[in-house]
Amino acid sequence: MNDDSFRVVVVGAGMSGILAGIKLRQAGYSNITIYEKAERVGGTWRENTYPGLTCDVPSHHYTYSFERNPDWTRHLPPGGEIQAYFENVTGKYDLAELIRFNTEVVDASFHQGSWRLKLSDGSDDRANVVIAATGVLHHPSVPAIKGMESFQGALFHSARWDHSIALEGKRVGVIGMGSTGVQIISALSERGIEVSHFVRNPQWIMPVENGYFSAEERAAFRADPQVLDDAMDFEGYAQAVEAYTEALTNPDSELAQSMSQACRDNLEGNVIDPALREQLRPDHQPFCKRLIFSPDYYTAIQRPNAKLVREDIEQIEPAGIRTCDGELHALDVIVLATGFRADRFMRPMTIRGRNGLDLETLWARRPVAYLAVTMPDFPNFFMLNGPNGPVGNFSLIEIAEHQWHYIAQLMERLRSGEVEAISPTGAALEEFDAARIEAAKRTIWYTGGCQSWYLDAEGIPASWPWTFSRFVEAMREPRWEYFETTGGDARC
């Protein structure tokens, strides 16, 4: 098939969408459009701008493998630098000419061998292939707390940070103790701002260092890529990721116990007041939730200007938050560090596959996908970081690159004209999902006794329940017997 007639649409210009655009061009695809609902690239790193925003993956491993960044300033990358990195990559690879900003895909339907798309500006499009690079953490989860509308100060979700509010001299309440809440408290506490951290369930914190790269180090990285490669220690990092996933899948292993003890020692050794230490002690096993990596939270929460509040919230009132013990915590600003709706993925897009099957029907029980990248009866529709893929304290960029290697092989059969449509069989998804659920029930996410955003509505862990090496192996090459195809020589 002529590449000019073979059309590919990518939904989203975050990390995965940028990757898809670059890889498509490198493979010789020329008829490409990336639709982005916002006014610029970046995805979650565009939308999250809260104080203290940091990725917990080592900086030099949070890059595309083909576009290393020698200029990180910290051992863990700050959010602003990550956003700048994606903007710089977009510019270097001239991707802006492919992107239609402020344009959301609202409807996608598969009909007679191609996808028909309806866009938020009222226009239409058609494509042989749709790649959903919509990400996971982009729909804020807003708790239903009584009286929120009555608050007379500023109230916003952490992913919608209001930078017009000057926080110095203000009393700030932060609700939630995921990575976001911990980072915000650490950053504001260090600035001397009066902060109250409202925590229903404390989480385990893994100690980590977050030093600076010196100007001399960054200059050496720029001058000699080998110096940067040596600093990255690919082998050591790969071993650490594999060890992490082994600990998740085998909670009784010696390694899991060792890493869990490091979390316990972190609490014991860094919180001086015994009463505060007990208030910060989780009621579940380490790894049951996504681990928090923080170099300074325990220091931050022990400052005189910081307060931990463990009482449940009864309601929000005009002057602040009233907890169930009757105390009113007077506040000027309330931040909802309450995470995201991790089950949304492409939604609210309406997506219809073969024979009118819609995504909501397929996902009526839970979001599912064969190997996290494709679905039966949704031909030529592929996902990067889709349902049931690996999610954890490692780089999702690396995950997306492995997934792209897999998807590219499926797309080549389409571009060559060998087939018109390709999708996994229903049996393939059923077999994969049954094995996934069985394995998930043996992970620490299921056995550790906690609630987390890793769990679906039925309490089953939604993430990849095996080791990282098993994921890499699964992405090497499609097992073609698990796919069904139709037609040939497809054109829009």
Angle (nearest 5°) at CA 182 between 179 and 186:
135
Q: What is the spatial distance between Cα 248 and Cα 250, in angstroms, rounded to a whole number?
A: 6
Confidence of residue 489 (pLDDT cuts 50, 70, 90): low
Residues whose CB falls within 8 Å of the CB of residue 389, separated by 6 or more in sequence, listed in order = 372, 373, 399, 403, 463, 464, 471
Omega of the bond prior to 348 within 30 degrees of 0, cis?
Answer: yes
In the prediction, which pLDDT does 254 show?
81
Q: What is the DSSP string of 152-179?
A: SSEEEEGGG--TTS--TT-EEEEE--SH
Which pLDDT belongs to residue 490? Answer: 42
Q: What is the pLDDT of residues 381-391, one digit of tens each?
A: 999 999 998 87
Q: Which amino acid is at 479?
A: R
For 474, the enclosing helix (H) or strand (E) is helix 468-474
Torsion of CA 426, 429, 434, 439, to 10 degrees: 170
* pLDDT (tens digit per residue) in 51-61: 999 999 999 99
**Does the pLDDT at position 1 exceed 50?**
no
Residue 155, classed as helix, strand or coil, is: strand
Mean per-residue pLDDT, 421-429: 97
Domains and CATH numbers, the chain: 7-139+341-486 (3.50.50.60), 148-204+252-336 (3.50.50.60)
Predicted TM-score (pTM) above 0.85: yes
For residue 64, list its beta bridge partners. 67
**What does the pLDDT average to over 210-219?**
96
- What average pLDDT is seen over the chain? 93
pLDDT at 88: 98
